[in-house]
Each structure stands twice: as structure tokens, then as C-alpha cells.
Chain A
């Protein structure tokens, strides 16, 4: 298994509180991603990073911010959590997505519940 660790694995938080999810990799891959998984929607891209301090928005970025200060860590922050952000969050890494044959490797997911 690819060396990807997500923390925490489960979290319950109250509406309006800030939440930070962490993704840590030991593969030294350049590209990192945050997705959310909701029934009927598959996995939707929130933000991604193509290098240290280089990030860009995905299709569902509103209400989320990210930071990547070193290669191995990619943080996802919900500045003020809302119930609509209750979801399962997956981190992924890739060596080179623009090069064919290069797949993404996924962490085990973080189940976030906003009450």
C-alpha cells in the first residue's frame, strides 16, 4: 500500500467551528489531492497541489482552503464547518498525472460529521 496517512479518521464537530484534516505521505510524490465522497456524486475534487506552496481549486472548493508547506503534508481546512460538509474525505497522491500509466493512490478516508 502507498504510504498515505489521513488524520483524524473520524471526527464529529459543531457547526461554525474550524476543522483541519491532515494528509501525510511517505512516497515523495509531487501531486496531492483532496476529494469528498457523497452518495450519488462519486468523488469530487476539492483542491489539489502540484508542488510545495502550489495549489489550485477543484470543482467543489467553496468553504475549503488548503496548504502545503512541505512535500509530505497536505492540509485541508474548513474555516467554519457547515452541515453540508458532512462527508467522507479522501486524500490522494500521484507521481505524475499528466503521464499515462500513472494512477492516483488513495488514503483510507476521514469521516467528518458536522452537527
Chain B
């Protein structure tokens, strides 16, 4: 069965410093991996997705994620945090096992300090 572990429930960074949000996944099949962002009282927006074409994936708003199969990780990074990045971030896994499900991590709330 698929599963996702987001290693930090809260992360605080200062504006202009790097962001690292950690995600580990488990899947017995070839996984599809996604990061979504949710701003307060809003819906979910796709940040980026792993397509298997490249292990380093670029997304919107300067975010990137690197797929590391040997570490079963898909960590989200951004070189320089902006105040508008404050939100909750979800790592999501799907796979080609035929179960058709998207499994969410428990989320990481990012706080950006001025």
C-alpha cells in the first residue's frame, strides 16, 4: 500500500532564507509524486509533480523537488522564502497499482518570519 510521511508538521524560516520541506514515501509500484499548497481558507493548488522524466522537478513560484528513489524521498525546496509562501504544504503519492488513489501526507505548515 502507498503511504507518505511528512517529517515536519511545522517549519519556520526567515524571509529570504532557504526552505526545505521533507517527504518520504512508500509504494510497491512506480510512484507518482506531487506537492500541493493550501493557503489559509483556500483550496489546494498543485505546486509540482514528478513525471519520471527527470529527478529534479521544477514547479511554480520557484519551488523544486528532487526524487531520490534510493532514499524514497521527495523533498521540496526553495532557495529564498517569501512572505507569500506561508501556507500548508502536502506531499501526495499515487501509483500504477490500479488502486486509483491519491494518498496525502499530514501536511507541513510553513511560517515565514519577516
Contact = CB atoms under 8 A, between A and B. Distances in A.
Interface of A: 31, 33, 35, 40-45, 48, 50, 58, 90, 92, 94, 97-109
B98 A98 contact: yes
Interface stretch (B12-20, B44-52, B68-76, B77-85): B44-52
A42 B101 contact: no
Interface of B: 6, 9, 30, 32, 34, 36, 42-44, 46, 49-52, 90, 92, 94-98, 100-107
Contacts of B42: 108
B49 A103 contact: yes
A58 B49 contact: no
A99 B31 CA distance: 10
Given A107-B43, A109-B43, A50 B100 contact: yes
Nearest to B95: A98
A90 B32 CA distance: 21
A107 B44 CA distance: 8
Given A90-B43, A100-B52, A108-B43, A43 B34 contact: no
